[in-house]
C-alpha cells in the first residue's frame, strides 16, 4: 500500500526541499518517540476505568489492558485484572469520586451500571463514558466486542476478534443443527437449604443452554428463582448443570445432589448426570462463549463426540 | 434547700446544657469541615477553601476543573445530606422513644421505615414496567418520591388505626405498627421474589443505605423537610418531658397530649420518609444515638432532642468518611459502617454502667 505512494511522491517531487525534509525528520522522530506506547493508538484514551466483567475480558483479549487503570469487582476474568488494577467496587454500586480518583480519560460501563446518581455525576465530570450493551445472543456478543473496540480506537483488532467469534458461533450453530434429540437440562445456580435456585427463561443460563443445543426445563420460570421440589421432579431433567466453585466445601458431589428428594426421581439422578463448569466461562457472554457452549454441548451429548471448534484458540 | 439555691442550681444546669449544645455544634461543624476535606481524590485544604470561596462569591472563573466538581457536586452535598439525614434519623428515634416512653422504640419499630422501603422496592422493581414514561423523565426522582410517600402513607394508616374519638392510643399504634411493618416487609419480599437479578441487587444495596447519591437536587428536596423539623423540635421537648410521667399525669399538668402525639408522629414520618428517600435504609442511628445521649446527659428532652440531632449528624458523617475511604476507589454501604462503628461503642458504654435499665 505504501509502495505506490512513494513512487508517486518521487515522480511528482523529484527534489525534496529543505522544509519538507525537516518535516519528514520531525515526523520520523515523533513516530519513533511513540514506539514506547502502542504506536497505532497513540492518540487514543490512556486511562480507562471499566465497570462490567465482559468489557474487561474483551480488553484483555485485545491486549489493551495496559490502558486500564481500574476495573469493577465483576471483572474476574482474566484473574490478573483484579490483581493488577484498582477495584472500583460492584458494577451497580460505583462511587463517583472513587472512579474519578483514578483520573480516567474514558469510563466504559455495561448497560445497567450504577447507581444512576453516580453515573450522572461521572457524566457531569466531563469524562467520556461509553455504555456497552450486554447482549446474551451470538449477535449481541459480536456487537459487544465491536462496540468495545470502537470505543478504544481499536476497531481493527476488535473487528478481527468479533469476526472470529462470529465464525465460532456459526460453527457452533452447525454442530447444534446436527442434534436431533434435544436433552432436557436444569441449571441450578445454588442450593439453599436443599432448595434449588434455578435458571429460568431470560436468564444467562437459559441462553447458554439453548446455545448448547438443549432444552431448559425451567423455562416456565422467569430469571433465577427458587423452584419447588415437585416442579423439579415433574420437569424430569435429564442433566443438571451447576457452576464449579473450586474444590473446598462448596463443591457439590453428584451423590449429595441426587440424594435430595427433588432430584432423586429425575432421569438425571438415575444416570448420575451432573455437569459442573466454571461459572464465568459458562455465563460470561464474551468472546469465550462459543467455546463454553461447545464444551457444555460436548458434556451434554458425550456419545455424539462433539469436536472442538476449529477456529477456537485456547481459552 | 432554699429556693434561691434551687434557682441557682437550675440556672447552672441550663447554662451547662447550653454549653454542651454549643460544644456539640462546634464539634459537628469541625467534623463537617474534615469530611469535606476527605475523599478518594486528594485535594489540599487550601484548594478546597479557594473553591468554596469562589463558589460563595459567585466567581465562575475557576469552576472548571475536576476537583471543583468533586468538592462542589460530590462532597459538599454528600456531607450536608449526611448531616441532615443523621440528624433526622436520630431525632426521630428520640421522639419515638419519648412518645412511647420506651427506650426500644425506633421508627423501624412502627413500620415507617418498612413502608418507605416497600414503596422504594416498588419503584425499583415495578418502576420500569408501569412508570416507563415517568421514569424516563424523572429517573432520579421516582425512587426518593416513592419512598417518601410510602413512609407518609404508612404513618397516616397507623394514625387512623390508632386514633378513636380524637384519642391516639400509643399501645395500639405500636401493635399496629408492628403489623403494618410485617405486611410491608412481606410485600417487599414478594417484590424481591418477582424482581430480576439486577433489581434484586439494587434492592440489596439500597437496603444497606448510601449517601453516594447525594446531589443538590436531592438536598433541595430533603432540606426543606428535615430543617423545619429540627426547628420545631424544641416545642416538643417540654411535652415529651411531661409524657414521661404518664399520659394522664401529663394531661393534668396541662400538656396538650393529643397535639404533642400527633405532631411527633407527623415529624417522625416526614423525617424518616425524607431520610429513607435520600439515603436508603440506614439502621442503628435512630435507636442508638438517643441512647448514647441519654446515657451521657440524662433524659431531659430539652437537651436530648438537640444533642441527638447533632450526635446523629456526627455519627452519620463519620460513618460516611469511613465508608468512602476504607475501600477506595470503591465504597462500602454506610449501613454496614454505622452498625460496625456504633454497635461496639454502644456495647462498651452499656458495659461501663452498673445498671442497664435506668435510661
pLDDT surpasses 50 at A6: no
Q: Which residues, other chains included, contact A37 with Cβ-Cβ below 8 Å and sequence gap of 6+?
A: A46
Q: Which residues, other chains included, contact B291 with Cβ-Cβ below 8 Å and sequence gap of 6+?
A: B103, B346, B359
Instruction: Encode pLDDT of A113-165 as tens digits.
Output: 988 888 988 998 889 999 999 999 999 999 999 999 999 999 999 999 999 99
Find the CB nearest A97 among B40, B196, B201: B40
Instruction: Encode pLDDT of B238-269 as tens digits.
Output: 999 999 888 888 989 999 998 998 888 888 88
Nearest CA in chain B to A223: B196
Q: Specify the pTM.
A: 0.82
In this predicted structure, what is the pLDDT of residue B269? 86
% of chain B at pLDDT higher than 70: 92
Counting Cβ atoms within 10 Å, is residue B45 exposed (0-12), middle (13-18) or buried (19+)?
exposed
Cβ neighbours of B326 (radius 10 Å): 13
ipTM score over 0.85, yes or no: no
Contact between A95 and B330 using a beta-carbon 8 Å cutoff: yes
Contact between B331 and A89 using a beta-carbon 8 Å cutoff: yes
Question: Which residue carries 436468564 as its cell?
Answer: A203
Residue B301, CA distances (Å) to A12, A245, B293, B297 in order: 94, 55, 10, 10
Find the CB nearest A97 among B39, B139, B202: B39
Average pLDDT for A16-31: 53
In this predicted structure, what is the pLDDT of residue A251? 65
Instruction: Encode pLDDT of A229-249 as tens digits.
Output: 999 999 999 999 999 876 555
Which chain B residues are within 8 Å of A118, Cβ to Cβ?
212-213
- Least confident segment among B139-148, B217-226, B279-288: B139-148
Residue B231 CA, chain-centre distance (Å), reads 15
Q: Report the mean per-residue pLDDT for chain B.
A: 85
In this predicted structure, what is the pLDDT of residue B17? 87
pLDDT surpasses 60 at A43: no
Nearest CA in chain A to B74: A97
Average pLDDT for A53-64: 96
Please state, in angstroms and rounded to a whole number, the distance separating the CA atoms of residues B282 and B275: 9
Instruction: Encode pLDDT of A271-300 as tens digits.
Output: 999 999 999 999 999 999 999 999 999 999
Find the CB nearest A101 among B41, B196, B327: B41
Question: What is the distance in angstroms between the Cα of B317 and the nearest Cα belonging to chain A?
Answer: 16
Please state, in angstroms and rounded to a whole number, the distance separating the CA atoms of residues A84 and A31: 29
Contact between A88 and B330 using a beta-carbon 8 Å cutoff: yes
Name the band, by pLDDT with cuts 50, 70 and 90, for residue B235. confident
Question: Which residue carries 434435544 as its cell?
Answer: A182
Q: Which of A139, A70, A72 minimizes the C-alpha distance to A106? A: A70
Which chain B residues are within 8 Å of A100, Cβ to Cβ?
40-41, 66, 69-70, 74
Contact between A92 and B198 using a beta-carbon 8 Å cutoff: yes
pLDDT surpasses 90 at B307: yes
Which chain B residues are within 8 Å of A101, Cβ to Cβ?
39-41, 328-329
The residue of A88, A97, A224 whose CB has the most chain B CBs within 10 angstroms, and thus the best one to mutate to test that interface, is A97
Q: How many A/B residue pairs have CB atoms within 8 Å? A: 100
What are the helix (H) ranges across chain B? 3-37, 45-56, 66-69, 76-100, 112-130, 132-137, 142-162, 170-194, 197-208, 216-243, 247-252, 257-279, 285-297, 301-325, 334-352
Average pLDDT for B4-17: 80
Question: What is the distance in angstroms between the Cα of B336 and the nearest Cα belonging to chain A?
Answer: 14
Nearest CA in chain B to A123: B69
Contact between A115 and B213 using a beta-carbon 8 Å cutoff: yes
Instruction: Encode pLDDT of B338-356 as tens digits.
Output: 988 878 877 887 787 765 5
Nearest CA in chain B to A119: B213
Which chain A residues are within 8 Å of B329, Cβ to Cβ?
70, 86-89, 95, 97-99, 101-102
Contact between B139 and A115 using a beta-carbon 8 Å cutoff: no
Which chain B residues are within 8 Å of A124, Cβ to Cβ?
69, 73
Find the CB nearest B328 among A92, A98, A121: A98
Contact between A100 and B214 using a beta-carbon 8 Å cutoff: no
Amino acid at each position: 500500500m505504501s509502495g505506490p505512494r512513494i513512487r508517486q511522491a518521487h515522480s511528482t517531487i523529484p527534489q525534496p526541499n529543505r522544509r519538507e525534509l525537516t518535516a519528514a525528520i520531525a515526523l520520523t522522530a515523533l513516530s519513533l518517540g511513540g514506539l514506547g506506547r502502542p504506536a497505532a493508538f497513540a492518540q487514543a484514551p490512556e486511562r480507562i476505568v471499566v465497570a462490567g466483567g465482559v468489557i474487561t475480558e474483551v480488553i484483555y483479549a485485545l491486549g489493551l489492558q495496559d490502558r486500564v487503570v481500574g476495573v469493577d469487582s465483576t471483572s474476574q476474568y482474566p484473574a490478573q485484572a483484579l490483581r493488577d488494577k484498582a477495584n472500583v467496587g460492584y458494577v451497580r454500586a460505583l462511587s463517583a469520586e472513587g472512579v474519578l480518583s483514578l483520573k480516567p480519560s474514558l469510563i466504559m460501563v455495561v448497560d445497567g451500571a450504577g447507581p444512576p446518581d453516580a453515573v450522572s455525576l461521572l457524566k457531569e465530570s466531563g469524562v467520556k463514558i461509553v455504555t456497552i450493551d450486554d447482549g446474551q445472543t451470538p449477535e449481541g456478543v459480536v456487537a459487544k466486542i465491536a462496540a468495545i473496540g470502537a470505543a478504544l480506537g481499536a476497531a481493527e483488532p476488535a473487528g478481527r476478534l468479533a469476526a472470529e467469534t462470529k465464525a465460532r458461533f456459526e460453527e457452533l450453530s452447525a454442530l447444534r443443527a446436527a442434534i436431533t434429540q434435544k436433552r432436557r437440562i436444569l441449571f441450578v445456580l445454588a442450593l439453599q437449604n436443599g432448595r434449588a435456585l434455578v435458571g429460568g427463561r431470560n436468564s444467562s443460563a437459559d441462553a447458554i443452554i439453548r446455545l448448547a443445543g438443549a432444552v431448559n426445563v425451567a423455562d416456565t420460570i422467569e430469571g433465577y428463582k427458587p423452584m419447588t421440589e415437585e416442579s423439579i421432579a415433574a420437569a424430569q431433567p435429564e442433566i443438571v448443570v451447576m457452576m464449579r466453585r473450586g474444590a473446598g466445601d462448596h463443591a457439590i458431589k453428584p451423590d449429595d445432589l441426587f440424594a435430595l428428594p427433588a432430584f432423586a426421581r429425575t432421569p438425571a439422578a438415575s444416570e448420575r448426570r451432573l455437569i459442573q463448569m466454571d461459572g464465568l466461562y459458562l455465563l460470561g457472554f464474551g468472546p469465550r462463549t462459543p467455546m463454553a457452549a461447545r464444551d457444555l454441548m460436548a458434556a451434554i451429548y458425550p456419545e455424539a463426540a462433539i469436536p472442538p471448534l476449529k477456529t477456537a484458540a485456547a481459552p | 434547700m432554699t429556693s434561691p439555691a434551687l434557682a441557682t442550681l437550675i440556672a447552672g444546669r441550663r447554662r451547662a446544657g447550653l454549653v454542651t449544645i454549643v460544644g456539640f455544634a462546634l464539634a459537628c461543624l469541625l467534623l463537617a469541615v474534615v469530611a469535606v476535606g476527605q475523599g478518594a481524590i486528594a485535594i489540599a485544604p487550601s484548594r478546597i477553601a479557594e473553591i468554596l470561596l469562589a463558589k460563595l462569591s459567585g466567581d465562575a472563573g475557576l469552576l472548571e476543573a475536576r476537583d471543583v466538581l468533586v468538592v462542589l457536586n460530590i462532597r459538599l452535598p454528600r456531607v450536608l445530606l449526611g448531616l441532615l439525614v443523621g440528624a433526622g434519623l436520630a431525632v426521630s428515634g428520640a421522639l419515638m422513644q419519648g412518645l412511647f416512653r420506651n427506650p426500644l422504640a425506633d421508627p423501624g419499630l412502627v413500620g415507617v421505615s418498612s413502608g418507605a422501603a416497600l414503596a422504594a422496592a416498588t419503584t425499583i422493581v415495578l418502576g420500569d414496567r408501569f412508570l416507563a414514561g415517568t421514569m424516563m423523565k424523572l429517573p432520579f426522582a421516582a425512587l426518593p418520591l416513592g419512598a417518601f410517600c410510602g413512609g407518609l402513607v404508612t404513618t397516616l394508616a397507623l394514625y387512623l388505626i390508632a386514633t378513636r374519638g380524637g384519642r391516639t392510643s400509643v399501645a395500639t399504634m405500636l401493635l399496629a405498627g408492628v403489623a403494618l411493618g410485617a405486611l410491608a416487609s412481606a410485600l417487599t419480599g414478594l417484590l424481591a421474589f418477582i424482581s430480576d437479578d439486577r433489581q434484586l441487587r439494587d434492592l440489596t444495596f439500597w437496603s444497606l443505605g448510601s449517601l453516594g447519591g447525594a446531589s443538590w437536587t436531592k438536598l433541595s428536596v430533603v432540606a426543606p423537610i428535615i430543617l423545619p423539623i429540627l426547628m420545631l423540635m424544641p416545642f416538643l421537648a417540654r411535652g415529651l418531658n411531661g409524657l414521661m410521667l404518664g399520659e394522664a399525669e401529663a394531661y393534668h399538668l396541662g400538656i396538650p397530649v393529643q397535639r404533642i402525639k400527633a405532631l411527633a408522629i407527623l415529624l417522625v414520618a416526614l423525617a424518616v420518609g425524607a431520610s429513607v428517600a435520600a439515603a436508603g435504609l440506614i439502621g442503628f442511628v435512630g435507636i442508638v444515638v438517643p441512647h448514647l445521649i441519654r446515657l451521657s446527659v440524662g433524659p431531659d428532652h430539652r437537651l436530648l432532642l438537640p444533642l441527638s440531632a447533632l450526635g446523629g449528624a456526627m455519627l452519620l458523617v463519620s460513618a460516611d468518611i469511613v465508608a468512602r475511604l476504607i475501600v477506595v476507589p470503591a465504597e462500602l454501604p454506610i449501613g454496614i459502617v454505622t452498625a460496625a462503628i456504633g454497635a461496639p461503642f454502644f456495647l462498651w458504654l452499656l458495659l461501663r454502667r452498673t445498671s442497664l435499665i435506668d435510661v
